[in-house]
C-alpha cells in the first residue's frame, strides 16, 4: 500500500505550464505532454475517443472493421486513427520502422521521453489464459522490461466471432465484459508486483452492432 501511495503521489505531480500551454488548453482542453505520464494519459484519451466513435457515435466507424480482418489489419487501422488524432503531440511509427520481434504492436512516441507501448489483441481469437499471457509475458514481461518504459496499454478488440469464453478453471462460460474484468484485475495485481511499472490501462473496443 505504501508503494501504491507513492505511485499515486508521483502521478499527481504535474510539470509547470509554459506560456504557450494556455492557448493550447483553451483550444484543445489539453497541453503538449511534458513527461511519459502525460503522453500515456493522452494515448488513453485518444483510444477512448476511438472507442466512443465505434460504440456510441451516431455515425459509427465500426463498419470499417470486418470479422475476417486479422490483428495486422486491426493494428494498421488503429495506428491510422491514432495518427489522425495526434494534434502534433505524438507520432505512431509506421510498421516497417519497428522490429516486430522486439517491439509492441504500436508505440506512442514523442522526442525526449519514454514511449508508451500498446499491445493489441482480437479477443475473439484467444482463450482467457492466452489473453492473460499476452498481458503478462508480452506487454509487461517484454515491452515494459526496459527501465525507461513505465506505461503500457492492453487493447482488446471484440467483433463478435464468439459469444462466450471458458473460464481458466473450466467452471463456466462467461461474456466479453466478464473477460475484461478478469484482465483488469490481473493488471491491477501486476502493478502491485512490479515496482518499475507505473500504470497499465486495459481498454476494449466492441465492434458488434447494438
Domain map of the chain by residue range? Answer: 2-12+26-206
> What pLDDT is recorded for position 11?
60
Q: What is the pTM of this model?
A: 0.84
Question: Which one, of 66, 83, 197, lies nearest residue 135 by Cα?
Answer: 197
Cβ contact 95:18 at 8 Å: no
Q: d(Cα 128, Cα 131) in Å, to the nearest integer?
A: 5
Q: d(Cα 168, Cα 28) in Å, to the nearest integer?
A: 44
> What pLDDT is recorded for position 210?
77
pLDDT in tens, 3-57: 666 666 666 666 665 665 555 544 555 768 999 999 999 999 999 999 999 999 9
Amino acid at each position: 500500500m505504501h508503494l501504491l501511495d507513492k505511485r499515486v503521489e508521483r502521478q499527481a505531480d504535474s510539470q509547470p505550464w509554459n506560456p504557450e500551454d494556455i492557448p493550447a488548453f483553451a483550444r484543445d482542453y489539453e497541453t503538449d505532454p511534458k513527461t511519459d505520464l502525460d503522453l500515456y494519459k493522452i494515448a488513453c484519451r485518444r483510444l477512448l475517443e476511438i472507442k466512443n466513435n465505434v460504440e456510441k457515435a451516431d455515425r459509427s466507424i465500426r463498419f470499417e472493421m470486418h470479422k475476417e480482418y486479422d490483428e495486422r489489419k486491426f493494428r494498421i487501422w488503429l495506428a491510422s486513427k491514432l495518427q489522425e488524432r495526434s494534434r502534433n503531440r505524438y507520432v505512431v511509427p509506421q510498421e516497417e520502422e519497428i522490429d516486430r520481434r522486439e517491439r509492441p504492436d504500436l508505440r506512442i512516441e514523442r522526442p525526449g521521453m519514454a514511449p508508451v507501448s500498446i499491445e493489441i489483441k482480437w479477443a475473439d481469437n484467444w482463450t482467457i489464459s492466452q489473453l492473460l499471457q499476452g498481458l503478462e509475458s508480452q506487454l509487461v514481461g517484454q515491452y515494459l522490461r526496459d527501465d525507461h518504459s513505465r506505461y503500457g496499454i492492453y487493447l482488446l478488440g471484440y467483433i463478435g466471432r464468439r459469444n462466450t469464453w471458458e473460464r481458466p478453471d473450466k467452471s463456466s462460460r462467461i461474456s466479453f465484459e466478464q473477460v475484461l474484468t478478469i484482465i483488469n484485475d490481473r493488471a491491477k495485481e501486476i502493478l502491485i508486483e512490479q515496482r518499475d511499472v507505473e500504470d497499465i490501462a486495459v481498454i476494449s473496443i466492441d465492434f458488434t452492432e447494438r
